[in-house]
Amino acid sequence: MSDFLAIDLEPHRICGVEADVDRGSVKLRKNFSLAVPESVSDDDPQGLGELLKVELRRHRITASQICISLPRESVIVRHLELPDVSDDELPDLVRYQSAAKSSIPLDQLTLDFLPLPRRPDSTVRDVLVATVHHDRIKRLRTIANAAGLELLSVGVSSVATAGIVALEEKHLDHNVGDVAVVIAQHGDRVEISILGEGHLHFTHSTQVVPGEGLHRPILAEISRSLVALQKRLPDARVVRCWMVGSPDENAKLGDAIGERFHCVIRQLDPYQCQGVTLDCKPVDEPHGAFGGPIGQLVSRSLEVSCAVDFLSPRRPTEKKDYSRVRKYAGVAAVAVLLIGMSVYQDIVVRKLEAAVAVATRDEKEQKALLNELEPQVKVADSVKEWASSRVNWLEEADMLTKTIDGTERHYLTKIQFGEGNRKERGTVTASGYAKERFDIEGLNAELMQRTDLEVNAKPIKNSGRDGDYPQQFDLDLKLKHQKAKAAK
């Protein structure tokens, strides 16, 4: 049995639990909730660690190892479609594809991923990839060291919470296409996840303003999440919604979700989830924020389908060293070849001579066929050159939509296509909003990778019109004329 401390680390609040973790059981011994004063900012990890150290002493918490869950909004989660490879090949392929998709060099990011179930009659593998910048991991290590703790793991709050819900889902009946929505509220932060077949298919977070009408933006976010999920699960339908938190926490929101999506509402208190026993009095406040810390502890005790750890990401299975065996086998093979070479030399030479004769005859036939088809090739090249000079606006719009990749980080409010001239084939202008400035810079960087596209960078504005998407941007794209390939 081992002692662990697990915390949910928000900019203005820290929720933590200390537990004895053994195989199949998590015994919660102490818990606390700490409001971070404004004098201690996220840019002061040393001060935050010292504040945590004082709080741990006050609660007489003695665990020396800490597991930290980051808010969903602090992590980039992206769905990737990969070739259908084996599980051993998957980690390397995920890193390769993530590097191609990311606007930030992969050596500056920490990555882990969740494999998703194979879709019937599909030739691709689906994965959810989570990335966080190295600088944030360094800050977390500074916080842990200042608090006198060893940083053991770093996960994502929404993923860890979905893990304890997935354990409950295992005991329920499922039909093809059934999905469950998971809602966990942390003050003004609401994390939304979607589970299907016990696997996490989607996770998102949003900010809400407490008060009347709270449920309306959350219902809208659930609808947007389901629309995004239907790209790969077109038959998905919500059959259950799990409200993670204290008994009767967010009861009105649960009623609104049940009425809107015609699904069953279930309440799950993290302090009473599968594998957890309670040896302390829970804090006198909503328990939704404790889903991440408790979920991380449960993942160390039970096998769960939803678990991300940036310090111990999924890696290829370590292969055994058979170099010595291969060395002896190689020596034996060489000996056999040397002995048999004299016997089969004449046969090999005759086969090679016959193959050369066939190849020579085939080469003559190919040359004659190419000469015969040369006039048709010239006509096809002329037609191709004429077709390439015109713009397929449907493809360009599809390109821009795939580049933006859904509505999680940014969205467009206007797009306009214009005819070209002698200098360019056409123009595209668009306007939209994004969550953060680097999302817009990443979008511009990805567009600039196209050699036939000229991107005129426009100033990025902080509009203030949309609290979730405060950064306003404009796109000014020019489609260049493609250079004709030189004739061989």
d(CA 29, CA 8) in angstroms, rounded, equals 17
48, 146 Cβ separation under 8 angstroms:
yes
Model confidence pLDDT, tens digit, residues 338-350? 777 777 777 877 8
Question: SS3 letters for the chain?
Answer: CEEEEEEEEECCEEEEEEEEEECCEEEEEEEEEEECCCCCCCCCHHHHHHHHHHHHHHCCCCCCEEEEEECHHHCEEEEEEEECCCCCCHHHHHHHHHHHHCCCCHHHEEEEEEECCCCCCCCEEEEEEEEEEHHHHHHHHHHHHHCCCEEEEEEEHHHHHHHHHHHHHCCCCCCCCEEEEEEEEECCEEEEEEEECCEEEEEEEEECCCCCCCHHHHHHHHHHHHHHHCCCCCCCEEEEEEEECCCCCCHHHHHHHHHHHCCEEEEECHHHCCCEEECCCCCCCCCHHHHHHHHHHHHHHCCCCCCCCCCCCCCCCCCCCCHHHHHHHHHHHHHHHHHHHHHHHHHHHHHHHHHHHHHHHHHHHHHHHHHHHHHHHHHHHHHHHHHHCCCCHHHHHHHHHHHHCCCCCEEEEEEEEEECCCCEEEEEEEEEEECCHHHHHHHHHHHHCCCCEEECCCCCEECCCCCCCCEEEEEEEEEECCCCCCCC
18, 267 Cβ separation under 8 angstroms:
no
Q: 233: pLDDT confidence band, cut at 50, 70 and 90? A: confident
Does 32 score more than 90 pLDDT? yes
Please state, in angstroms and as integers, the Cα–Cα distance from residue 385 to each residue in 110, 279, 389, 393, 479, following that order. 45, 76, 7, 17, 16
The pLDDT of residue 384: 64
Does 396 score more than 80 pLDDT? no
d(CA 180, CA 60) in angstroms, rounded, equals 39
Mean of all residue pLDDT scores within the chain: 86
**In sequence order, what are the beta bridge partners of 181?**
194, 241
191, 158 Cβ separation under 8 angstroms:
yes
Query: Nearest 5 degrees, angle CA 476-CA 478-CA 480?
Result: 165
Q: 1: pLDDT confidence band, cut at 50, 70 and 90? A: low
Q: 169: pLDDT confidence band, cut at 50, 70 and 90? A: very high
> Given CA atoms 399, 84, 160, 259 in this order, what sign does their dihedral have?
positive
Q: Which residue has the higher pLDDT, 179 or 361?
A: 179
- What pTM does this model have? 0.65
d(CA 223, CA 103) in angstroms, rounded, equals 28
Q: 327: pLDDT confidence band, cut at 50, 70 and 90? A: confident
Residue 129 burial (CB count, 10 A): 21
Token duo for residue 440: 């817009």
Tell me the average pLDDT across 189-195. 93
User: Comparing 150-159, 235-244, 247-256, 475-484, which segment has the lowest mean pLDDT?
Assistant: 475-484
Model confidence pLDDT, tens digit, residues 406-429? 557 777 888 888 877 767 878 888
The pLDDT of residue 371: 82
Model confidence pLDDT, tens digit, residues 7-26? 999 888 999 999 999 998 99
Token duo for residue 82: 């990969």
Model confidence pLDDT, tens digit, residues 91-147? 999 999 998 888 889 889 999 999 998 887 788 899 999 999 999 999 999 999 999
The pLDDT of residue 18: 96
Q: 325: pLDDT confidence band, cut at 50, 70 and 90? A: low
Q: How far is CA 410 from the centre of its chain?
A: 16
The pLDDT of residue 487: 47
d(CA 52, CA 146) in angstroms, rounded, equals 8
Please state, in angstroms and as integers, the Cα–Cα distance from residue 353 to each residue in 210, 222, 361, following that order. 85, 70, 13
Does 379 score more than 70 pLDDT? no
The pLDDT of residue 322: 52
Token duo for residue 427: 């123009």
Does 320 score more than 70 pLDDT? no
d(CA 297, CA 276) in angstroms, rounded, equals 9
The pLDDT of residue 161: 95
Does 488 score more than 50 pLDDT? no
Query: Nearest 5 degrees, angle CA 412-CA 418-CA 423?
Result: 125
The pLDDT of residue 425: 79
d(CA 51, CA 37) in angstroms, rounded, equals 9
205, 156 Cβ separation under 8 angstroms:
no
304, 298 Cβ separation under 8 angstroms:
yes
Residue 119 burial (CB count, 10 A): 14
Token duo for residue 127: 């994965």
Model confidence pLDDT, tens digit, residues 254-304? 999 999 999 999 999 999 999 999 999 999 989 999 999 999 999 999 988
d(CA 428, CA 456) in angstroms, rounded, equals 11
Tell me the average pLDDT across 455-471. 81
Does 245 score more than 80 pLDDT? yes
The pLDDT of residue 126: 92
Token duo for residue 357: 């004769």
